[in-house]
Amino acid sequence: MFVEWWVLWFVWILAGEVKNMAGHSKWKNIQHRKGRQDALRGKIFAKVSREITVAARNGSDPELNQRLRLAIAKARANNMPNDNIERAIKKGSGEEGGGDYETIMYEGYGPGGVAVMVEALTDNRNRTAADVRHIFSKRGGNLGEAGCVSWMFSRQGLLVIEKEQTNATDDNLLLLALEAGAEDVEVTADTFQITTAPESFEEVKETLESKGEVFTTAEVTMLPENTVELTGDLIDNMLALIDALEDNDDVQNVYANFEADDADWENY
């Protein structure tokens, strides 16, 4: 087993799968977004309920519907009552009346040329398009055509573990994630940031949870293939755009491809 461990480790090093990041973090904007969501708890319930309702159209059994399963997990992570979850499922399955929502992805650019994707669930696409366009223009960005930035993102599972919350060594956690099916692990001074294929997300998460690991982030999301570094006022302007978009009732998620030096994040 000792030899097998080092063979796996050596292969990872050669493949460049283990990355050490120092000084910069493209994940801080995810942490900022999650902090904002915590502050908007009432809106989060409404947004997640809508997500469950739309997901349930493809089947009300979470075991057979991954999108619904992930939406329910998100609801429970936000302490949504079970009654709310069940009611949202019934709306989607047709047992109770519900809004006729559709999923729309808007694409554009924020301050500093940052690529931005906005996922919305709406029952009035004209209203939502006008609102999103207004927010972009008011906050120093511009709404683009479909496909203008989506090629810069890929749908992946993301699991973040704070080093201070795990008893595992770096080597043991990396090996465990690899054996569970993770695609990549980025190691910073404070975190392990594990990415997976969407279809492998739950298996990797459950494997790590079975070993006692606790996640600060656990979601299937859109991650950027490359990033734009922001400094100073551009960070403030970009975060203002994200905050304004997330305040809109129809907007479910906002994704952006910026990063910043850790020192710049200290003000946020």
Confidence of residue 111 (pLDDT cuts 50, 70, 90): very high
Instruction: Please report, for the domain that includes residue 227, its CATH number.
Output: 3.30.70.980
pLDDT of residue 267 exceeding 70, the answer is: no
Q: Which of 150, 153, 169 has its CA nearest to residue 161? A: 169
> What is the model's pLDDT at position 147?
94
Q: For 255-264, how does the pLDDT look when each residue is reduced to its tens digit (9 = 90+)?
A: 999 988 777 6
pLDDT of residue 6 exceeding 60, the answer is: no
Considering the domain architecture, whether residues 120 and 193 belong to the same structural domain is answered as yes
> What is the model's pLDDT at position 95?
73
> What is the model's pLDDT at position 41?
63
**How far are the Cα atoms of 156, 174, 202, 217 from residue 178, in angstroms, in the given order?**
16, 6, 14, 18
**DSSP track, the chain:** -HHHHHHHHHHHHHHT-EEE--SEESSHHHHHHHHHHHHTHHHHHHHHHHHHHHHGGG-S-GGG-HHHHHHHHHHHHTT--HHHHHHHHHHHHTSS-----EEEEEEEE-GGG-EEEEEEEES-HHHHHHHHHHHHHHTT-EE--TTSSGGGEEEEEEEEEEGGG--S-HHHHHHHHHHHT-SEEEE-SSEEEEEE-GGGHHHHHHHHHHTT---SEEEEEEEESS-EE--THHHHHHHHHHHHHHHSTTEEEEEE-EEEEHHHHTT-
Q: Which structural domain range is residue 258 located in?
A: 1-37+101-268
Across 3-17, 95-109, 218-232, least confident range: 3-17
**How far are the Cα atoms of 78, 141, 217 from residue 31, in angstroms, in the given order?**
15, 22, 8
How far apart, in whole angstroms, are the C-alpha atoms of residue 158 and residue 208?
13
Considering the domain architecture, whether residues 193 and 211 belong to the same structural domain is answered as yes
How far apart, in whole angstroms, are the C-alpha atoms of residue 81 and residue 93?
19
Residue with more model confidence, 28 or 75:
75
Average pLDDT, the chain: 84
Query: 184: which 2 tokens?
Result: 């990549």
Considering the domain architecture, whether residues 145 and 240 belong to the same structural domain is answered as yes
Across 80-84, 99-103, 133-137, 154-158, least confident range: 99-103
pLDDT of residue 177 exceeding 60, the answer is: yes
Across 4-13, 117-126, 147-156, least confident range: 4-13
Considering the domain architecture, whether residues 108 and 226 belong to the same structural domain is answered as yes
pLDDT of residue 91 exceeding 70, the answer is: yes
Considering the domain architecture, whether residues 42 and 151 belong to the same structural domain is answered as no
Which range, 4-8, 91-95, 163-167, 252-256, is most confident?
Answer: 252-256
Considering the domain architecture, whether residues 125 and 201 belong to the same structural domain is answered as yes
Instruction: Please report, rounded to a whole number, the percentage of residues in the chain having pLDDT higher than 70.
Output: 80
Considering the domain architecture, whether residues 213 and 187 belong to the same structural domain is answered as yes
Considering the domain architecture, whether residues 187 and 70 belong to the same structural domain is answered as no
Instruction: Please report, for the domain that includes residue 88, its CATH number.
Output: 1.10.10.200
Q: For 27-58, how does the pLDDT look when each residue is reduced to its tens digit (9 = 90+)?
A: 565 555 555 555 566 688 889 999 999 999 88
Block residue for tokens 């790590």: 208
- If one counts every other C-beta atom within 10 angstroms of the C-beta of residue 79, the result is 9
Count: domains in the chain: 2
Residue with more model confidence, 5 or 156:
156
